[in-house]
Amino acid sequence: MGLLSISSLTKKFGGLVALKQFDLTVEKGEILGIIGPNGSGKTTFFNVLTGMFRADEGTVLLDGTSDNLLDRKTHEIIGMGVARTFQNQRPFSNLSVLQNIMVGGHCRGRSGIFSALLRLPGAGRERRRLEKRAMEVMTIFGDRLISMKDRSAWTLSYANRRRLEIARALASDPKLLLLDEPTAGMNPAESLQLLDNIRHINSTGVTVLVIEHDMNFMKQLCGRLVALDYGEKIVEGSYDTVRNHSRVIEAYLGKD
Amino acid sequence: MNKTRLDDLSGGSQATSGDNFLQQGVMAALAGRLARFSGIGKIALLCVFLMLPLMIQSNYAMRVIIYICLYIVLAMGLNVVMGFTGLLNIGHAAFYATGAYTTAILMKQFGMSFWLTVPAGMTLGVVLGVAIGLPTLRLRDDYLAMVTLGFGQIVYIVANNWMGLTRGPRGIADIPSPFLGWGDWAIPIDSYTAFYYLIFSFVLFTIFACIRVRDSRVGLAWTAIREDEDVAAVMGVNLVLYKTMSFAFSAALGALAGSFFAVFQHFVSPNSFTILESVIIITIPIIGGLGSIPGTIVGAVIMIGLPEIFRAASEYRMVVVGAFMVLMMIFKPEGLFGKKQFQQMYKA
């Protein structure tokens, strides 16, 4: 029993089957890569997992509990320990970097409107804790986010927005981090840095699921790969197994 | 942040565009300065406002100032929904009417003290806020706006037709003045000066409430919804709960203004709560800059004060105000105190 066990996950958009009877077990502490051609259902998988789409069928069990993740509401999932970033960068543009990351910690707070109005000490303590956690998370990326912490997110560079999204997800203290094409828009040097960053995050006990097209990046990062095509898992295993598998080559390049 | 960083050469892009002043817009930066005003400065400002009735002799001028204050409370309430949470509400006058009618009916027919009718009105406002919030949460943007428009009309029509409760278009007249204190020590609030102090305390309460909530976990969740509600949900913000909370908080402030309006006018009728009223309230935070508290205050001064100043121009004064609004939207669409928004980077 791993951290995440997914069985017969299915998602249909009308007649299109985006995910078909998808089974997967994610072990605690691993970095698992997901590859596949465009439209193979990778992002749909993340969307279903984080409750943005409703699955048609299947069960997702987190951390050995018997609680199906798919029955939870969208906003409850991050509190259970599954946080994500987005492929098409979606930071809160007009909030500052610090505020963005603090929103990520929202699920770890409890204070409501009355404690805010009366300025109860609990609410203040919570806010300070959240701010401290946000600063902690930013240090993962060295000086890059900290030096920008009061700037609006839209003024950030492409790469920094990616980092910001990762930091925002981490502020929720997740067990499982879902990264959707984290290196898109980064130059090779930045990708290398990100490789170290993700390894560091993983070393703090966060299991990482990563979607990425850059195979060199995946080779260095992931212990295990899963390849998808037309919403089906075609192969699962080490980098070399997957890379040289005939069906993977077929999915990317077509048949002779 | 103007110096170029050397390590960018290997690590790539760290955008260091422009200085803070340009990025925020001049007025927003000024407002920021004002907020950081020293304590003494704030006390001095407070004293000026407290002494205002002593300096101004004209009843007409006092009346205008009281109206400006009333609209500050109304617009601040709307600013919570529109500026913080990003939901368009074209029916804010409904909450205003709720507060006004609650106070009028409870004081007139049940002889309740004004001070009890205020929380009663606010509570009823919250109930209505939740009632409109809950069923409409799945709607977005224009659709939500249509629903709030309808809601405003419903409240107006109910007030106009429920003869038994609201006396319909004849309105409720002779609403008594509130008293401060008990028994022999009761001081009636019936002069412009007294009403000014009453509404001024409401304004202070509203400002404090808005600032506190804005800077809290709740306020942050609201702004996250405004920026991108799907992402906010994925980040753990309960959209149903927080949108309803936003409507309820806004409604409470609207009802507070309504309670004051009832005792100040001594008369309420449905004509004070038409759609035009909602539209005037909407323009205030937009002119001031959505989401900005000083902006909303200045917006109220402009929207309520300007037509009075141009009263000499008689019929043309609304043309002047209209022209002003058109120019505003062309040259400063983010409002006087609004932060430059990210979308405007792509203006042709």
User: What per-residue confidence (pLDDT) applies to B340?
Assistant: 63
Quick check: B245 contacting A, CB < 8 Å?
Answer: yes
Residues facing A235 on adjacent strands: A227
Inside any domain, residue A213: yes
The contacts of residue B111 (CB under 8 Å, 6+ apart) are none
Inside any domain, residue A232: yes
Inside any domain, residue A104: no
Among the listed residues A73, A79, A65, the one whose alpha carbon sits nearest the alpha carbon of residue A2? A65
Among the listed residues B314, B249, B297, the one whose alpha carbon sits nearest the alpha carbon of residue A116? B249
Residue length of chain B: 348
pLDDT digits (tens, 9 = 90+) for B233-277: 999 999 889 999 999 999 999 999 999 999 999 899 998 898 888
Among the listed residues B1, B51, B206, B46, the one whose alpha carbon sits nearest the alpha carbon of residue B118? B206
Quick check: B183 contacting A, CB < 8 Å?
Answer: no
pLDDT digits (tens, 9 = 90+) for B168-207: 888 888 888 888 877 777 788 888 888 999 999 999 999 9
CB A28 within 8 A of CB A87: no
Q: Across residues B84-103, what is the average pLDDT?
A: 91
> Do residue A113 and residue B216 have CB atoms under 8 angstroms apart?
yes
Alpha-carbon distance of B83 to B254, in angstroms, equals: 15
Alpha-carbon distance of B214 to A118, in angstroms, equals: 13
Q: Where does the pLDDT of residue B4 fall: very low under 50, low under 70, confident under 90, or very high at 90 and above? A: very low
The contacts of residue A256 (CB under 8 Å, 6+ apart) are none
B235 contacts in chain A (CB < 8 Å): 78, 83, 103-104, 106-107, 168, 172
Quick check: B236 contacting A, CB < 8 Å?
Answer: yes
Residue length of chain A: 256
Question: Nearest by CB to B212, which of A73, A112, A119?
Answer: A119
CB A218 within 8 A of CB A35: yes
CB A99 within 8 A of CB A164: no
Question: Nearest by CB to A189, which of B10, B233, B235?
Answer: B10
Q: How far is B236 from chain A (nearest CA, A)?
A: 4
User: What per-residue confidence (pLDDT) applies to B14?
Assistant: 41
Report CA B117 to chain centroid distance, whole Å. 20
A93 contacts in chain B (CB < 8 Å): 227-228, 341-342
Q: How far is A120 from chain B (nearest CA, A)?
A: 11
Residues facing A32 on adjacent strands: A209, A224
Among the listed residues B250, B46, A6, the one whose alpha carbon sits nearest the alpha carbon of residue B242? B250
Alpha-carbon distance of B331 to B98, in angstroms, equals: 37
ipTM: 0.90
> Do residue A94 and residue B213 have CB atoms under 8 angstroms apart?
no
CATH of the domain at A166: 3.40.50.300
Q: How far is A256 from chain B (nearest CA, A)?
A: 41
Tell me the CA distances in angstroms from B54 to B50, B57, B196, one per residue in order: 9, 7, 11
Residues facing A207 on adjacent strands: A176
Q: Does B11 score more than 60 pLDDT?
A: no
Q: Whole domain around residue A71: which residue ranges?
A: 4-91+158-253
Rg (CA), chain A: 19
Alpha-carbon distance of A235 to A220, in angstroms, equals: 19
Q: Where does the pLDDT of residue B342 fall: very low under 50, low under 70, confident under 90, or very high at 90 and above? A: low
* Phi, then psi, of A84 in degrees rounded to 5: -140, 165
pLDDT digits (tens, 9 = 90+) for B54-86: 888 888 888 899 999 999 999 999 999 998 998
B245 contacts in chain A (CB < 8 Å): 113
> Do residue B339 and residue A94 have CB atoms under 8 angstroms apart?
yes
Inside any domain, residue A207: yes
A101 contacts in chain B (CB < 8 Å): none
pLDDT digits (tens, 9 = 90+) for B137-175: 777 778 888 888 988 999 999 988 988 888 888 888 888
User: What per-residue confidence (pLDDT) applies to B1?
Assistant: 40
CB A191 within 8 A of CB A123: no
3 state SS of A142: coil
User: What per-residue confidence (pLDDT) applies to B9?
Assistant: 37
Distance in Å from the first CA to the final CA of chain B:
27
CB A11 within 8 A of CB A55: yes
User: What per-residue confidence (pLDDT) applies to B33?
Assistant: 65
Inside any domain, residue A142: no
How many CB pairs (< 8 A) connect A and B? Answer: 133
Q: Across residues B327-343, what is the average pLDDT?
A: 74
* B66 membership: H or E segment, kind and range: helix B59-79
Quick check: B234 contacting A, CB < 8 Å?
Answer: yes
Q: How far is A246 from chain B (nearest CA, A)?
A: 37
- Report the side by side order of strands in the sheet with A31-35: A82-84, A176-180, A207-211, A31-35, A224-229, A232-237
B339 contacts in chain A (CB < 8 Å): 94, 152
Torsion A116-A120-A126-A130 (CA) sign = positive
Q: How far is B11 from chain A (nearest CA, A)?
A: 5
Question: Nearest by CB to B11, which of A102, A115, A193?
Answer: A193
A134 contacts in chain B (CB < 8 Å): none
Q: By CA distance, what is B14's nearest residue in A?
A: A157
Which DSSP letter does residue B174 get? -
User: What per-residue confidence (pLDDT) applies to B207?
Assistant: 92
A113 contacts in chain B (CB < 8 Å): 213, 216, 218, 245, 249
Q: Across residues B96-119, what is the average pLDDT?
A: 90
Alpha-carbon distance of B28 to B293, in angstroms, equals: 11
> Do residue B218 and residue A112 have CB atoms under 8 angstroms apart?
yes
User: What per-residue confidence (pLDDT) applies to A165?
Assistant: 92
Question: Higher model confidence: residue B3 or residue B312?
Answer: B312
Q: Does B8 score more than 70 pLDDT?
A: no
- Candidates A49, A113, A133: best to mutate against B (most CBs of B within 10 A) is A113
A74 contacts in chain B (CB < 8 Å): 233-234
Q: Does B125 score more than 90 pLDDT?
A: yes
The contacts of residue B324 (CB under 8 Å, 6+ apart) are B302, B306
Please provide the CATH number assigned to the domain covering B57-332. Answer: 1.10.3470
Which DSSP letter does residue B17 get? -
- Candidates A117, A163, A178: best to mutate against B (most CBs of B within 10 A) is A117
* Phi, then psi, of B32 in degrees rounded to 5: -60, -45
User: What per-residue confidence (pLDDT) applies to A168?
Assistant: 93
User: What per-residue confidence (pLDDT) applies to B29?
Assistant: 67
Inside any domain, residue A113: no
Among the listed residues A182, A164, A181, A171, the one whose alpha carbon sits nearest the alpha carbon of residue A92? A164
Residue B147 burial class via C-beta count within 10 angstroms: exposed 0-12, middle 13-18, buried 19 and up: middle
Question: Nearest by CB to A106, which of B213, B221, B342?
Answer: B221
Domain ranges of chain B: 57-332
Strands (E), chain B: 179-180, 187-188
A115 contacts in chain B (CB < 8 Å): 216
Q: By CA distance, what is B208's nearest residue in A?
A: A117
Alpha-carbon distance of B217 to A115, in angstroms, equals: 10
* Phi, then psi, of B47 in degrees rounded to 5: -60, -40
Residue B344 sits at the vertex; the CA angle it makes with B342 and B348, to the nearest 5 degrees, is 145
Q: Average per-residue pLDDT in chain B?
A: 82
| pLDDT tens for each residue of chain A, 256 residues long | 688 889 888 999 988 888 889 899 999 999 999 998 888 888 999 999 998 898 898 899 988 787 888 888 888 899 889 999 998 889 998 889 999 999 998 988 888 888 888 888 888 888 899 999 999 999 988 888 888 888 888 888 888 899 999 999 999 999 999 999 998 888 889 999 999 999 999 999 999 999 998 888 998 998 899 999 888 888 999 888 888 888 888 888 877 6
Q: How far is A177 from chain B (nearest CA, A)?
A: 12
Inside any domain, residue A233: yes
Inside any domain, residue A73: yes
CB A182 within 8 A of CB A5: no
Per-window interface: B 200-229 vs A, CB < 8 A: 209, 212-213, 215-221, 223-224, 226-228
* Residue B313: half-sphere exposure toward Cβ, Cα within 13 Å: 11
**Residues B99, B102, B106, B112, Cα dihedral to 10°:** -30
Question: Nearest by CB to A50, which of B212, B215, B234?
Answer: B234
> Do residue A152 and residue B339 have CB atoms under 8 angstroms apart?
yes
Report CA A91 to chain centroid distance, whole Å. 14
Q: Does B314 score more than 70 pLDDT?
A: no
